[in-house]
Amino acid sequence: MTTDGAPLRVDSLRMEFGGITAVDGTSFVVEDGTLTGLIGPNGAGKSTTFNCITGVYTPTAGHVYFQGEEITGLAPHQIARRGLVRTFQIARELEEMTVFENMMLAPQHQRGESLIASVVPGLRAAVVTEERGLRAEVWETLEFFEIDHLAHEYAGNLSGGQRKLLELARALMTDPEMLLLDEPLAGVNPTLEKKLLERIHALRAEGYTFLLVEHDMEVIMENCARVIVMHQGQVLAEGAPAEIKEDEAVIDAYLGEPI
């Protein structure tokens, strides 16, 4: 398995919960600068794989490499700091914070995240300066996602689709290398879905790498260059959408549904 140009490599990943094996020896790579889709029927182990990659679960066995370095078993914040940032299936906004505060939270290594720098008057000036810089950056990102009109709204008041946009925008504020999106289009109306996909494509063109877990087969087939199909905790097929559509095993796994 080549790792050249592959920021993310999952190798024989295994995750057991008690007697149940949710992920059973999954291996795949995500190539640099691609929009890769991860699909599979319910219970295929997509979300568990996701949680193993991002450090929410520590896998029972197997390895995860990001940019050539092993990240297996690291804490979620350590993985995020390396530039591998995720979003959540059910958008997890910080509801009692405004959209703007949500965005300001994300940037890494903020000077003011030190308690001392926040309270000592002499050091606080630098924090204020940094905050002003971030504010400008946040406005830019909010405008890119066309949610700048919601800047001062509490995140709890946003619609499902707006939350998904905010979540992606917020993840982007961490200055990631690669984004893992867990069902970014679930519960999003068609207009916003189009907007969201446009943004994802634009960002991919800028060089970001995406791994997309999605339920909606059509979306994956239309938008992803490469598709990984999981079934019963294992990778069933891997390839371009056209190949996947013809794959007998995949068709069987989906009980003959046309893909």
Partner 1 sequence: MTQTVTGAVTETMRRLVGDSDLRMIGVTIGGVYLIATLLAIAAGYDVGGIVNTLRAITVFAAGYGMLVLALNLHWGYTGLFNIGVAGFMAIGTYVTAILSAPPELSPGAGLGLPIPIAVLGGMLAAAIAGVLTALPALKMRADYLAIVTVALSEIIRLSIKSQTLAEVSVAGVTVGTGGGRGISYPAPSDAASWLIELVPGGTVLYPAGAAVGIARPVVTGLVYMLILVAFTAAFYWLLVQIGQSPFGRVLKAIREDELVASALGKDTRIFKLKVFAVGCALMGLGGYLWLGRSGFVNDLSFRPDITFFVFVALIIGGAGSNTGSVLGGIIFSGVLFYLPQFISQNFVRAARAPDTFVEALSGDLAGYLVANISALRFVAIGVLLVWLMQRRPEGILGHRMEAAAAIDLRGGRAGGSDDD
User: By the criterion CB under 8 A, which residues form the site for partner 1?
Assistant: 54, 56, 75-78, 80-81, 85-86, 88, 92-98, 100-101, 104-106, 108, 110-115, 117-119, 124, 127-128, 131-132, 135, 139, 148, 151-152, 154, 170-171, 174
What is the spatial distance between Cα 191 and Cα 176, in angstroms, rounded to a whole number?
26
For partner 1, the closer of residues 115 and 242 by Cβ is: 115
Listed residue (48, 62, 78) closest to 12, CA to CA = 62
Find, among 79, 71, 63, 65, the residue nearest to 23 by Cα: 63
Rounded to the nearest whole angstrom, what is the least distance from the CB of residue 173 to partner 1 in the complex? Answer: 8
Least distance between partner 1 and beta carbon 30 (Å): 18
Least gap, CB of 112 to partner 1 (angstroms): 3
Minimal distance in Å, beta carbon 177 to partner 1? 12
CB of residue 106 to partner 1, shortest distance in Å:
5
Q: Determine the distance from the C-alpha atom of residue 40 to the mean position of all C-alpha atoms in its chain, rounded to a whole number.
A: 17
Q: Residue ranges of the alpha helices (H) in the chain?
A: 46-53, 76-81, 99-105, 115-119, 121-144, 160-172, 190-205, 217-223, 241-246, 248-253
Question: Nearer Cβ to partner 1, position 27 or 108?
Answer: 108
Nearest to 38, CA basis, from 238, 196, 176, 172: 238
Answer yes or no: are the C-beta atoms of 27 and 236 closer than 8 Å: no
- Residue 58 CB, nearest approach to partner 1 (Å): 14
Q: Where does 54-120 have alpha helices with state H? A: 76-81, 99-105, 115-119
Residue nearer to partner 1 on the CB measure, 113 or 252: 113
Rounded to an integer, what distance in angstroms lies between the CA atom of residue 178 and that of residue 172? 9
Number of H helices, E strands in the chain: 10, 10
- Please, what is the minimum distance in Å from the beta carbon of residue 224 to partner 1? 23
